[in-house]
Structure 1
Amino acid sequence: MRLRTADISARTIGGETIVLDLPSSQYFAITGIGSRVFELLSEERSVDDLVVAILAEYDVDEATARQDVEAFVDRLHQARLLA
């Protein structure tokens, strides 16, 4: 999975990622680990890939990382931000 790139715009400012879905004109604000996962999804990644990256970069246990990544990815799917 990866982000749709043709019709979304995103900028990270001060640790917060602001995303504009151009077709729907919806704004999303992403903070914390979500900003990093969003960044990682600029390339094709699996949930397992995302969890491994988060474990390498943050002080979090695997169960928590997986739960948070899966919940965040689910929200991205619901918002139709993934290709």
Structure 2
Amino acid sequence: MRLRSNDISARTVGDETIILSLSDSQYFSVTGIGTRIFELLGEEHSADELVERIVGEYEVDEEVARRDVEAFVGRLREARLLR
């Protein structure tokens, strides 16, 4: 999975990422690990790869990372931000 990059604008300031979907003028604010997952989705990654990266970069166990990744990716899908 990967972000729809042709019609999304995003800026990160500190720990917050502001995302604007240009196609439907939706605005999103992401913080914490969500910012890192959003960055990783700039390239093609499977859910398992995302979980592996989060576990390796943060002090979180795999079960928690998987739950968080799946929830975040689910919200991105609902907002049609993934291709």
Normalised by the length of structure 2, the TM-score is 0.99
Structure 2 residue identity aligned to 1:65: A
Q: In structure 1, what is the equivalent of residue 76 of structure 2? A: 76
Counterparts of 1:41 and 1:14, CA distance in 2: 19
Gaps of 5+ in 1: none
Q: In structure 2, what is the equivalent of residue 2 of structure 1? A: 2
Structure 2 residue identity aligned to 1:50: L
Counterparts of 2:15 and 2:68, CA distance in 1: 18
**Number of corresponding residues:** 83
The offset of 1:51, in angstroms, is: 0.2
Write out aligned runs for 1:8-47 (5 A). 8-47=8-47
CA-based RMSD: 0.4
Counterparts of 2:2 and 2:23, CA distance in 1: 18
The offset of 1:23, in angstroms, is: 1.0
> What is the DSSP-based 3-state SS (H/G/I as helix, E as strand, rest coil) of the residue aligned with 1:2?
coil
Identity of aligned residues (%): 66
Normalised by the length of structure 1, the TM-score is 0.99
* Deviation >3 Å, runs of 4+: none
